[in-house]
Amino acid sequence: MLGLEGPCWVGLGPNGGFAVSEEFGDVQLFGSARQPLGSLGGLNGHAFGSPAGVCTDAEGSVIVADEQRRQVTLFPRGESPICLVSKGLGRPLGVACVPQGQLVVADAGDSYIKVYQYHSELA
């Protein structure tokens, strides 16, 4: 797994794989056998500021916190990215989907954990 540019955060990826965010770079996807699958930016033309925390929802969409852009973005399979949260974030670092249909964001800008209602099937 060489060639990562400043790996920062690791999260579960789709289909048993994982995702790695790169500081001031992109988010690299790996399959369940640890094989490289490509980058989110390369697969859909999205430009990140500083990707941080990554997670995957129940439908296999990847969610990324972008610290520099102060937003959380959903990357549905085969579709364009969707900004889920952009208001009220200072430095979003960590993200997680919880079984109760919520998205949890760790915001280092104001030292809060923020919880948003989120149903991946509606995104």
User: What pLDDT was estimated at residue 58?
Assistant: 87
User: What pLDDT was estimated at residue 82?
Assistant: 94
User: What pLDDT was estimated at residue 36?
Assistant: 93
User: What pLDDT was estimated at residue 23?
Assistant: 84
Task: Report strand pairing: 71-75 vs 82-85.
Answer: antiparallel
CATH of the domain at 29: 2.120.10.30
- From residue 85, give the alpha-carbon distance in Å to each of 33, 35, 82: 32, 31, 9
Question: Is the residue at 2 inside a domain?
Answer: no
pTM greater than 0.85 (yes/no): yes
Q: For the chain, which ranges sit under pLDDT 50?
A: 122-123
User: What pLDDT was estimated at residue 120?
Assistant: 55
Q: How many residues does the structure list for the chain? A: 123
Question: Is the residue at 1 inside a domain?
Answer: no
User: What pLDDT was estimated at residue 123?
Assistant: 40
Q: Which domain holds residue 39?
A: 7-122
